[in-house]
Amino acid sequence: MAKIIKVGKKNSQYDVVIARNAITKTRLSKHLKSKNKILVITDSGIPSKYIRELKNLLSFKKQLYFHEIPCGEKSKSFSTFIKIQEKLADLKFDRSDSMIAFGGGVVGDITGFCAATYLRGIDFVQIPTTLLAQVDSSVGGKTAINIKQGKNLVGSFNNPSLVLISSKFLETLPDIEYKSGLGEVIKYAFIGNKKLYKLIHENSRKIKSRNLNILEDIIEESIITKSKIVTQDEKENGIRAILNFGHTFGHAIEASKNYKGITHGAAVTLGMVIAAKISYFEGHIKIHQLDNIINLIDSLGLESNYEKYKFKDLKKYLSNDKKVSSGKLSLVLINSKGLAFKTNQFNNKSLEKSFA
């Protein structure tokens, strides 16, 4: 049985469907029946059998087009954006047409941004194929591309009209990408989802062996947490900031490595350990809570040791972070109840001590 979660406020609400195979002809034809043309964006790393399957399922659409971008972060660029916009215009897409993002977070972010801006906004559907995209980037409506000054600096909030999550795609995901997604999963457990925390704690072996039943439960719990937060705060004016737990130092680590040699989720995982340590030095959590966090990360085979990163090297990237407002750095920390909160009230020494 598919799990269905409703996300967003009434006028922009959409379904997130989670199943072993959520992409069925019935679901697609029902959702896309009023659409004339469909442009599917995908990347060169998506296994070709998945693309063939999707083509087959969408064969009821006479005007079906595919556009493949090179896989990797470099595709979240203006040049890719322009190519897609020109393709939409050449194919004479109008507001009765739709786009589909079929891939990971890179494909989802650029497709969502193209859909937000072409003709001032056309419909788009997310079909995420990586764990990170399934538990995080496909839901919540953040879309973006990168410019040389920084990652995700140009973008918009644009909700998809439907998200179809098939857990079976996770079977072919490279280990490094799977672990990257687990980093975001574990974040939801640390920022307040106790059921998810328990699920991970009791099933680490099954998670490591990619048991799809457990993964579907975990994806569901992740989306429930994200959904509650983004529905309350669609444009990140308040509570949504807690989703950035681990991201301030995570982004600094990614930037210090020029976004090479470390995945987003792996950097965020290290960032969460750092934020948890700062929470401990600030007196918000006890030492056993810090240990529990590190143990949970370790139990999934993720890296929790960040000793090769030095505070003095990361410092300059902290001030470039979007979490800096009026020159004051904000951090997302956690408290003894296991809840996350955003604050700019902390002792700078706690930051340095976390790296000592």
Beta bridge partners of 325: 328
Q: Which of 123, 136, 216, 282 binds ligand NAD (CB under 6 A)?
A: 136
Q: 118: which residues sit within 8 A by CB, 6+ positions away?
A: 85, 88, 89, 93
142 touching ligand NAD, by CB under 6 A: yes
134 touching ligand NAD, by CB under 6 A: no
Decide whether 104 or 192 has the Cβ nearer to ligand NAD: 104
Q: Which of 13, 21, 59, 172 binds ligand NAD (CB under 6 A)?
A: 172
- Least separation in angstroms between residue 170's CB and ligand NAD is 7
Q: How far apart are CA 320 and CA 329, in angstroms?
A: 10
- Termini Cα distance of the chain: 50
Decide whether 138 or 279 has the Cβ nearer to ligand NAD: 138
| Region binding ligand NAD by CB under 6 A among candidate stretches 6-14, 129-137, 250-258, 316-324 | 129-137
Q: Which of 137, 158, 166, 279 binds ligand NAD (CB under 6 A)?
A: 137
Residue numbers 312-331 binding ligand NAD by CB under 6 A: none
**Residue 255 one-letter amino acid:** A
| Region binding ligand NAD by CB under 6 A among candidate stretches 82-90, 170-178, 232-240, 296-304 | 170-178
Decide whether 15 or 68 has the Cβ nearer to ligand NAD: 68
| Binding flags for ligand NAD, 31-50, as an x/- string (CB under 6 A) | ------------x-xxx---
53 touching ligand NAD, by CB under 6 A: no
| Region binding ligand NAD by CB under 6 A among candidate stretches 52-60, 103-111, 217-225, 292-300 | 103-111
Q: How far apart are CA 240 and CA 342, in angstroms?
A: 10
Q: Which of 31, 37, 61, 76 binds ligand NAD (CB under 6 A)?
A: 76
Q: How far apart are CA 132 and CA 352, in angstroms?
A: 30
Q: How far apart are CA 103 and CA 264, in angstroms?
A: 16
Q: Which residues bind ligand NAD (CB under 6 A)?
A: 43, 45-47, 71-73, 76, 103-107, 109, 129-130, 132-133, 136-137, 140, 142, 152, 169, 172-173, 177, 180, 264
